[in-house]
Structure 1
Amino acid sequence: MNGAIIGYGTIATGHAIGYRQTDGINVTAVVDPTPARAEAARSAGLRAYATYAEMTAHENPDFIDICTPPDSHAGYIELGLRDGLHVLCEKPVLMPHEGGYDRLLGQIAAADTVFYPSHNYKFAPILTTMQQVVRDPGFGDVLSARFRTLRQGHAVGVPEWNPHWRRDPLIAGGGILRDHGPHSVYLATHLTGRTPLAVSCLTGALRHDGYSGTEDTAMLMIRCDDDVQIELDVTWSAGYRNSYYSITGSGGSVTVENDDVQYSLAGRLHRTTLPSNFDAPRHSDWFAAMFADFLTTTQHPERAAPLLAETLTTSLVIDGAYASAADDGRWVELTPAEELLTGVAR
């Protein structure tokens, strides 16, 4: 199966490496209007085009992989679905627009192709190890979770095109809550298996780096079914990098902090170290595993429905968090994604 990458920035180069490591799937073309990025793509052996229309006039891809900034995601999703292509999209996958998500969800539901979110943290080996512990029968019921992501600043894009676009609300749709927040939310729902019902959030700009239009710090409390509570902290204002994930169950617990894994099952404590690659900007090994899963999903399209629910849930939590933060952290009730998707005709 052949595809085209839309937008050839830092994350897209990681995608390109991941595709080369994945059997049965290949990327041959890139769409990027920036001459320097188009030349970078050609140097990597890819055919480059300035526009989507130019690419489809010369190529016949089976899928597109959207790696552009968030403000253009919806437009490219619609183009790919219109042309009968499978569509992958980088986070934040679904962005709120006037009228909510109904129009795009309807197009996804009506398509005969697969819509797939690039939720790559789910494929980090150290976090799949964490998932195995949580799913062990001895772990029991999930009681709570706490995730904490500390960074020393926002990720900087390629110098050839607006390297600080993540701090532009018109392009990014927000700050760290919209940029790194989705990783924390989809990981939390994926690893705990819980459904968010309400969210409370506080945000701030603590770094004082001149980017006052977007938040660099967010603290979320998420109430889930069965009275499970999830705490998520993300910041670009820290003095050091740190990635921390902890889940407590009725029969055990597991914590991942950077490259260290510690878990308790049946009264026994276990410790191990694994290369997390949390600090690798391209995550190419994670993408290889993700693309293999995407390929399997195109062969078994029934697997796409829970992924769409995960994607919508992530966006609804982020939207609710912004609404909460705008009202001093009040609790905002959330409608489960499955209920919203039930009303979308296929």
Structure 2
Amino acid sequence: MTTINWGIIGLGDIASSFAAAFNVENATLLAAASRNLDKANAFAEKHSIPKAYGNYEEMLFDPDIDVIYIATPHSHHAQYILKSLKAGKHVLCEKAITMSNKELDEALALAKEKELVLTEAMTIYHMPLFHKLKDIIATGKLGKLKMIQASFGSLKEADPTNRFFNKDIAGGALLDIGVYALAFTRFFLSSQPTEVLTTMNPYETGVDEQSAIILKNKDNEIAVVSLTFRAKMPKVGIVAFENGYITVQDYPRASKATITYPDGTSEEIDAGDSAEALNYEIDLMTQNVLHKTPNVNMPLTHGVMEIMDNLREQWGLTYDFE
């Protein structure tokens, strides 16, 4: 059986988690690249990766590598997606995959031209629990979808130099944690929102610190999303139907959910393993490449990016490098 070889661009915290978790049949983590060779060597040694590169471009032209995992700051995603695709590599890119739909459309067009797979590393789309919940919803026993609520509050240190608040590398709550809440919401909505209402408080650096978002689609389904970078809130998603509601705690990597019915009874739903969240992404990407199948989640990714474009336009939030 063919083995798909992976390389990593950007060696921060999420890349370290990715490398530590990497354990998928027919896939090998072959190389790691940084702008600093010492950092690349240290990362490769820590995670038993055979190859290390002191610049990204050198790794992109390694003929042994099939897939590039991009874990740079958001501001550099589109740049390295395009470079990777031009080098003939399939791409799994961290969320949010790009800064805008314009960037995403350009990347998708190039991927199509090159007959390559481009996917966003969004755990929600890959966790078995969410697909099991979709199957339950499809039976019709819960009735019509009415409301969705999703909150995500992360208490970041109030440091203007921290990457979370750094406008030069696309900091802010929306692109970092908001993409999870919006992905959860869009996964369950029957159609793309046509109405988007919002308010936002900026941090002193100009990025979005906290926001409230209301979405409504043509099916009259409404979603409410709450985000903050300066207060802890539970990562809880609620999907409410006429005949019951689904509660998902810690939804970014959830393996359990509860369905509560109008009479007060409840049902526990289990599927998958939270500890394997990153491997679900790696496995699907590997299978897509092996079998030359397209990324089935891109319509959801595209829909979330469309919502984020709308929000940032309403907030008047732009970045110099766009």
TM interval, shorter chain, is 0.7 to 0.9
Letter in 2 for 1:195: Q
Alignment of 1:173-252 (within 5 A): 174-205=171-202, 211-238=204-231, 240-252=232-244
* Cα distance change, pair 132–214 in 1 and its aligned pair in 2 (3 A): same
Alpha-carbon offset, residue 309 of structure 1: 2.0
CA deviations 1:64-101 (Å, max 9, x no partner) are 0101111111121112211221111001102239x665
Alpha-carbon offset, residue 220 of structure 1: 0.8
Runs of 4+ in 1 over 6 A off after TM superposition: 273-277
* Cα distance change, pair 273–139 in 1 and its aligned pair in 2 (3 A): closer
* Cα distance change, pair 273–101 in 1 and its aligned pair in 2 (3 A): closer
* Cα distance change, pair 15–139 in 1 and its aligned pair in 2 (3 A): same
Q: Is 1:80 aligned to residue 84 of structure 2?
A: yes
For residues 297 and 157 of structure 2, what CA distance do their matches in structure 1 show?
Answer: 27
CA deviations 1:232-264 (Å, max 9, x no partner) are 1111121x3411100011222111234874313
Number of residue pairs matched by the alignment = 308
Alignment of 1:280-291 (within 5 A): 285-291=276-282
Percent identity (aligned): 19
2:310 match: 320
Paired residues of 1:77 and 1:87 also in contact (CA < 8 A):
yes
SS in 2 for 1:116: strand
SS in 1 for 2:219: helix
Q: Is 1:90 aligned to residue 94 of structure 2?
A: yes
2:119 match: 116
CA RMSD of aligned residues (A): 3.1
Letter in 2 for 1:45: S
For residues 316 and 158 of structure 2, what CA distance do their matches in structure 1 show?
Answer: 25
* Cα distance change, pair 101–12 in 1 and its aligned pair in 2 (3 A): closer
CA deviations 1:110-167 (Å, max 9, x no partner) are 12111111011334466556545434431122111010112212799xxxxx982221
For residues 157 and 117 of structure 2, what CA distance do their matches in structure 1 show?
Answer: 31
1:39 match: 42
Larger CA deviation: 33-42 vs 115-124:
33-42
Letter in 1 for 2:80: Y
For residues 110 and 316 of structure 1, what CA distance do their matches in structure 2 show?
Answer: 23
1:332 match: none
1:269 match: 265
2:11 match: 8
Task: Specify which of 136, 141, 163 is matched with residue 165 of structure 1.
Answer: 163
For residues 45 and 143 of structure 1, what CA distance do their matches in structure 2 show?
Answer: 49
SS in 2 for 1:180: helix
Q: Is 1:105 aligned to residue 85 of structure 2?
A: no
Letter in 2 for 1:67: A
Larger CA deviation: 2-11 vs 145-154:
145-154
For residues 51 and 61 of structure 1, what CA distance do their matches in structure 2 show?
Answer: 15
* Cα distance change, pair 57–319 in 1 and its aligned pair in 2 (3 A): closer
SS in 2 for 1:88: strand
SS in 2 for 1:137: coil
Alpha-carbon offset, residue 17 of structure 1: 2.6
For residues 221 and 292 of structure 2, what CA distance do their matches in structure 1 show?
Answer: 31
1:159 match: none
Alpha-carbon offset, residue 15 of structure 1: 1.3
Letter in 1 for 2:16: T
Letter in 2 for 1:170: D
* Cα distance change, pair 144–113 in 1 and its aligned pair in 2 (3 A): same
Letter in 2 for 1:16: A
For residues 320 and 58 of structure 1, what CA distance do their matches in structure 2 show?
Answer: 39
* Cα distance change, pair 102–286 in 1 and its aligned pair in 2 (3 A): closer
SS in 2 for 1:17: helix
Which ranges in structure 1 are unaligned for 5 or more consecutive residues? Answer: 157-161, 278-282, 328-346
Greater RCO structure (CA 8 Å; 6+ sep): 1
Q: Given the two structures, how large is their TM-score scaled by the length of structure 1? A: 0.78
Paired residues of 2:259 and 2:268 also in contact (CA < 8 A):
no
1:343 match: none
